[in-house]
Structure 1
Amino acid sequence: MPSGLVALLDDVSIIARTAAASIDDVAAAAGRAGSKTAGVVIDDAAVTPSYVTGLSPARELPIIWAITKGSFKNKLLILLPGALLLSEFLPGAIIFILMLGGAFLSYEGAEKVMEKLGGAKHGKTVDDVIEDPVKFEKERINGAIRTDLILSAEIMAIVLNEISSEPIAATVWGRGLTLALVAIGVTVAVYGSVALIVKMDDVGLHLTKKASSTAKTVGRFLLKAMPKLLATLSFVGTIAMLWVGGGIIVHGTHEIGFDLFYDIAHGAEYAVKAATGPLSGLLGWLTYAAISALIALGLGFAIAFLLHKVLKFEGNGH
């Protein structure tokens, strides 16, 4: 009996260690795959504050919470099951979904560039007369959730693509846990950061009313820093969209046998690496990223022209 009990406990310990190792593998795979989504995450974090800009401060956090709940539903209830079905029965489609997402990011980035250069904004903004604030707020939330669905689909596709060669991807549950970890982590990181960002000016205003000179100084700094931070986020988000979107297009077209973009981007990268010294790795990567962004910008301009000039489509805008 003791030997049987010892054997049973030994088996349990082996199962526990195996499960723990599997969880570690999932966490490690999620971390590696999640890092590849940085550009899309930055874009998401940069775009979301615009949905509450100009609205009542009292409505900022409720709006962000509503968008956050929509994002969780997008990732965990819609995209996760769909991603698992695709990876199980139609894995070849993932690269085309990636390229569709890359084209969307290219279009979004190009539109932002055109707006900065004086182009028209598409869709209603807070600068327009708002006759029904409740309806407008609902439209903003729905628009944010729709945008989140597209960006989240891109994140899930990137993760699936990145873990395809990982041991953990051999099972459906491994892929599912990895996708779920990335989905939850990204959502919390993005919308938690956005909540802090949009309330920064309120914190600053509160501090300026304190008796302490230090608190007032910090408050004034936060009030001055907020517009610059939002502008920086917008700029970085645009660059990230173009870099990631272009990189996806370069990689995707190479995967399906069209090598022109891949050869140009990587040819320039290798040439820069060969011509530079200790910084060859960084400069080579920057060259590849810059060319990828230019490819995305060209593609985005073409899509924007087709949508707005040929098809006369007017989007909701950010």
Structure 2
Amino acid sequence: MPGGLVALLDDVSIIARAAAASVDDIGVAASRAGTKTAGVVIDDAAVTPSYVTGLSPARELPIIWNITKGSLKNKLIILLPGALLLSWLLPSAIIFILMLGGGYLSYEGAEKVMEKLGSEKHGLTVDDEIADPVAFEKQRVAGAIRTDLILSAEIMAITLNEVASEDFIVRAGVLAIVGIAVTLFVYGAVALIVKLDDIGLHLREKSSELAQTFGQFLVTSVPYLLTTLSFVGTIAMLWVGGGIILHSLHELGLHGPSDWAHGVQHMVEGVTGGLSGILGWTTYAGLSALAGLGLGFVLAIVIHNVFKIGKTHGHG
């Protein structure tokens, strides 16, 4: 019996060490994959406030919570099992999923630019007369969750691409950690952003002059912040979408567009000295955004004028 107990404890210690190693591997891989998804996360955080802008302040947090729940379902129930199954059965398809997502982001970004330039808007916005606020809110939430599904698919595909060589447990753990962490970060930030004006109003009622001044600053600056986020969200959509397309084409053997963009980036880096890193990155990001804008224009024209699709969006 003592010998059996010692053997059992030895087996348990081996299993525990293996589990600890897997947890460590998951943590390292999740950190590595998380940095690669930064562009899409910025896009998600910048775009989402537009879905509650202009609606009743009392409904802002419930709407964000509903979108958060939809996002977690997207990542953990739909995308995580699908990504693991895909990595097992057809890993070569991941790049094409990335390209589909890149095309969608380019289309969404280009459509926003077209609307700003005076093109017809597609779907109700907060500027229109809303006959049924409940139905409109559901439409906005559904639109946000639909866009989140695309962005989440990009996040999961990028993450999966980073850990493709890891074993199944590590892949599953990394996808779950990145999915949950990104969701909590994005929608926590969004909840804070849309409530900054309420925080400002509360601070204005305080006796402290400093608190009143800061509260007034928040109230005054929030509209400008939301406008800036809308602009940043559009640019991020085009940058991320175009960048994914350029990178994916390079992976598929069509090197020209990506090599040209990187060539311009290196040329800028070569003549800008100490600012070469920032200006080089900005150059490539800008060229990626232009590529996304061009692709998005083409897709928008085809979708709206050829297939006559375009009455399903609920952007603000």
TM-score (norm 2): 0.93
SS of the residue aligned with 2:308?
coil
* 8 Å CA contact retained: 1:39, 1:237: no
* 8 Å CA contact retained: 1:121, 1:317: no
Partners of 1:216 and 1:17 in 2: how far apart? Answer: 55
* Structure 1 equivalent of residue 235 of structure 2: 239
* Structure 2 equivalent of residue 251 of structure 1: 247
Partners of 2:113 and 2:104 in 1: how far apart? Answer: 14
* Structure 1 equivalent of residue 24 of structure 2: 24
Q: Where in structure 2 are the equivalents of 1:187-266 lying within 5 Å?
A: 187-266=183-262
Q: Percent identity?
A: 70
Give the AA of the match of 1:316: H
Q: Could you tell me how far 1:34 is from its partner in structure 2?
A: 1.5
* Structure 1 equivalent of residue 170 of structure 2: 174
* Structure 1 equivalent of residue 64 of structure 2: 64
Partners of 2:211 and 2:276 in 1: how far apart? Answer: 45
Give the AA of the match of 2:126: V
Partners of 1:277 and 1:213 in 2: how far apart? Answer: 46
Larger deviation: 32-41 or 185-194?
32-41
Partners of 1:282 and 1:48 in 2: how far apart? Answer: 27
SS of the residue aligned with 1:74?
helix
* 8 Å CA contact retained: 2:140, 2:314: no
Is 2:181 the partner of 1:185?
Answer: yes
* Structure 1 equivalent of residue 276 of structure 2: 280
* Structure 2 equivalent of residue 35 of structure 1: 35
Quickly say closer, same or farther: Cα 1:207–1:275, change in 2 above 3 A: closer
Partners of 1:209 and 1:65 in 2: how far apart? Answer: 28
Q: Could you tell me how far 1:172 is from its partner in structure 2?
A: 1.9
Q: Could you tell me how far 1:226 is from its partner in structure 2?
A: 0.8
Partners of 2:49 and 2:27 in 1: how far apart? Answer: 29
Partners of 1:278 and 1:134 in 2: how far apart? Answer: 54
Q: Could you tell me how far 1:27 is from its partner in structure 2?
A: 1.4
Partners of 2:158 and 2:296 in 1: how far apart? Answer: 20
For residues 72-99 of structure 1, the C-alpha deviation after alignment (integer angstroms, 9 at most, x for no partner) is 1111011111111110000111000000
SS of the residue aligned with 1:98?
helix
Larger deviation: 207-216 or 54-63?
207-216
* 8 Å CA contact retained: 2:239, 2:292: yes
* Structure 2 equivalent of residue 89 of structure 1: 89
* 8 Å CA contact retained: 2:47, 2:234: no
SS of the residue aligned with 2:273?
coil
Q: Could you tell me how far 1:196 is from its partner in structure 2?
A: 0.8
Is 2:303 the partner of 1:301?
Answer: no
Q: Structure 2: where are the runs of 5+ without partners?
A: none
Q: Could you tell me how far 1:208 is from its partner in structure 2?
A: 1.5
For residues 234-264 of structure 1, the C-alpha deviation after alignment (integer angstroms, 9 at most, x for no partner) is 2222222222111111111112222221221
Q: Structure 1: where are the runs of 5+ without partners?
A: none
* 8 Å CA contact retained: 2:41, 2:182: yes
For residues 257-311 of structure 1, the C-alpha deviation after alignment (integer angstroms, 9 at most, x for no partner) is 2222122112222333344434433333222222212111111111111122333
Larger deviation: 262-271 or 99-108?
262-271
Partners of 1:191 and 1:219 in 2: how far apart? Answer: 23
* Structure 2 equivalent of residue 117 of structure 1: 117
Q: Could you tell me how far 1:8 is from its partner in structure 2?
A: 4.3
Larger deviation: 87-96 or 210-219?
210-219
Give the AA of the match of 1:73: K
Partners of 1:198 and 1:36 in 2: how far apart? Answer: 27
Over the aligned positions, Cα root-mean-square deviation in angstroms equals 1.8
* Structure 1 equivalent of residue 132 of structure 2: 132
